[in-house]
Amino acid sequence: MSWPGVIHAYLPYLPFAADTPIITLNEGNTPLIRADRLAEAIAPKAGLQLYLKYEGLNPTGSFKDRGMTAAITQAVAEGAKTVICASTGNTAASAAAYAARAGLRCLVLVPEGKIALGKLAASLAYGAEVISIAGSFDDGLNLVCEIVRRQPIALVNSINPWRLEGQKTAAFEICDQLGGRAPDWHCLPVGNAGNISAYWLGYRQYGKGLPRLLGGQASGAAPIVLGRVVEKPETLATAIRIGNPARWQQALAALDESGGIITAVSDDDILQSWRLLARLEGVFVEPASATGLAALKQQIALGEIDPVGKTAVCVLTGHGLKDPATAVAHANPPHTLPADITALEAYLQR
Ligand code: F0G
């Protein structure tokens, strides 16, 4: 049977009536990839069982689709005709796709010049009205929160509780894929803190055990680590360039209840982990998605996490093709050769 999408797959765990018309792109059911070479690189001879939850394989290339099927389904059920969100790009692309499928008008506010090309391209292609604001994600979020107080528009950012309901299904999948148990450590990037909050809801509800949460923030955009709002967040991981996360308190509670850790990693650390994922395991992600792995690598190196015999899952939140410009900028350029066999052979024997 083909995979029906996360709402149908986990309906008994979700607050939808059985007859609600579901707006879905058959999202979810993403692979949990065993990463032995990477495990050996970050924790030699420790017997670490490392898994990658490759959320970049969702229909619009990020984990946001899990939450968006739920938020758009609910918006339609409530009679909405227009939806809006602020976004660093992935939420925008996902909202645009699901709104298109539901026949809704979709407006997305993005920070000018700070949205990766693949996200902009997709949002435009799906027919969203893309509004580029001279401000940050946080400014955009304030604006959309205000406009929905004034106008009959549905907000589909992760402050909308339906988003978390959909996103928590990833925790169910991980437990199912591990044969009915939670990992010891669950590692992920933290931006607006919706996803970490959703995972915690999911693990608690599913009853297959609880992991400890490890959240990674970029050091230039690490409000939760610093314990204060960051007015001008900066990181090359533009997806998590956020200075005042909406789900801050909920993330803190989840970290606390799980005995978890939140830590900051530099852009260089993020890039290094991003490269390891691609080169050791053949998994191409956008930079922000490597932040969970960078955090795990850092905490093992610091001795804060003992990897011996442990199971860890790193959530890879978005596909590498989301941000081709950063990928090309941080790789060696291609070799150029004349189209001739002698030149090719000479190159091989260099
Ligand atoms: N990874 C990626 C690729 C993201 O796009 C985001 C958030 C996160 C991690 C962090 O998740 O916000 O739930 O803590 N992107 C949002 C957006 C902000 O607008 O696409 P979070």
| 273-320 pLDDT tens trace | 999 999 999 999 999 999 999 999 999 999 999 999 999 999 999 999
In one-letter notation, the amino acid at residue 83 is V
Provide the β-strand partners of residue 132.
Answer: 110
Q: Is 98 helix (H, G, I), strand (E, B) or coil?
A: helix
Mutational test site, ligand 1, from 87, 90, 115, max ligand atoms within 8 Å of CB: 90
Question: With contact defined as beta carbons under 8 Å apart, do 27 and 57 qualify?
Answer: no
pLDDT digits (tens, 9 = 90+) for 55-96: 999 999 999 999 999 999 999 999 999 999 999 999 999 999
Which pLDDT score, from 0 to 100, does residue 135 have? 97
Over 90: is that where the pLDDT of 100 sits?
Answer: yes
Which pLDDT score, from 0 to 100, does residue 256 have? 98
Q: Does residue 343 fall inside a structural domain?
A: no
Over 90: is that where the pLDDT of 1 sits?
Answer: no
- Nearest residue to 276 (alpha-carbon basis) of 101, 87, 52, 116: 52
Do 52 and 174 share a structural domain?
yes
Average pLDDT over residues 174-191: 99
Do 98 and 208 share a structural domain?
no
Which pLDDT score, from 0 to 100, does residue 80 have? 98
Over 90: is that where the pLDDT of 157 sits?
Answer: yes
Which atom of ligand 1 sits closest to the CA of residue 89?
A: 20
Instruction: Name the pTM for this structure.
Output: 0.98
Which atom of ligand 1 sits closest to the CA of residue 194?
A: 13
In one-letter notation, the amino acid at residue 87 is S
Q: What's the structural domain count of the chain?
A: 2
Which atom of ligand 1 sits closest to the CA of residue 192?
A: 12
Provide the β-strand partners of residue 108.
Answer: 85, 130
Q: Does residue 342 fall inside a structural domain?
A: no
Cα-based distances in Å from 33 to 49, 207, 281? 11, 23, 9
Share of the chain above pLDDT 90, in %: 99
- The reply to whether ligand 1 has any atom less than 6 angstroms from the CB of 291 is no
Mean pLDDT, the chain, integer: 98
Final residue of a structural domain among 115, 137, 160: 160
Q: Does residue 350 fall inside a structural domain?
A: no
Query: In the structure encoding, which two tokens stand for residue 18, read together?
Result: 């059985």
Q: Is 201 helix (H, G, I), strand (E, B) or coil?
A: helix
Do 176 and 56 share a structural domain?
yes
Distance, CA 280 to ligand 1 centroid (Å)? 24
Q: Give the CB-side neighbour count of residue 253, counting CA atoms within 13 A.
A: 11
Which atom of ligand 1 sits closest to the CA of residue 91?
A: 20
Average pLDDT over residues 35-45: 98
Do 87 and 214 share a structural domain?
no
Separation of alpha carbons 92 and 35, rounded Å: 30
Q: Does residue 340 fall inside a structural domain?
A: no
- The reply to whether ligand 1 has any atom less than 6 angstroms from the CB of 88 is yes
Which pLDDT score, from 0 to 100, does residue 73 have? 98
Q: Does residue 170 fall inside a structural domain?
A: yes
Over 90: is that where the pLDDT of 186 sits?
Answer: yes
Separation of alpha carbons 69 and 20, rounded Å: 12
Do 140 and 98 share a structural domain?
yes
Give residue 229's pLDDT band: very low, low, confident or very high (50, 70, 90): very high
- The reply to whether ligand 1 has any atom less than 6 angstroms from the CB of 91 is yes
Do 177 and 152 share a structural domain?
no
Over 90: is that where the pLDDT of 334 sits?
Answer: yes
Final residue of a structural domain among 160, 181, 214: 160
Which atom of ligand 1 sits closest to the CA of residue 86?
A: 19
Final residue of a structural domain among 160, 175, 197: 160
Q: Where in the sequence is the domain holding 210, given as residue range(s)?
A: 6-61+163-329
Do 287 and 140 share a structural domain?
no
H helices of the chain, in order, are 6-9, 36-42, 64-77, 90-102, 117-125, 137-150, 161-167, 169-177, 194-206, 223-226, 248-258, 267-281, 291-301, 324-329, 341-348
- What do you get for the CA distance between the two ends of the chain, in Å? 52
- The reply to whether ligand 1 has any atom less than 6 angstroms from the CB of 191 is yes
Average pLDDT over residues 230-256: 98
Do 111 and 55 share a structural domain?
no
DSSP letters along 217-273, please? EEGGG-HHHHTS--SS---S-GGG--SS-TTHHHHHHHHHHHT-EEEEE-HHHHHHH
Q: Does residue 335 fall inside a structural domain?
A: no
- The reply to whether ligand 1 has any atom less than 6 angstroms from the CB of 286 is yes
Question: With contact defined as beta carbons under 8 Å apart, do 79 and 183 qualify?
Answer: no
Which pLDDT score, from 0 to 100, does residue 341 have? 98
Do 273 and 202 share a structural domain?
yes
Do 279 and 194 share a structural domain?
yes
Residue 294 maps to which CATH number? Answer: 3.40.50.1100
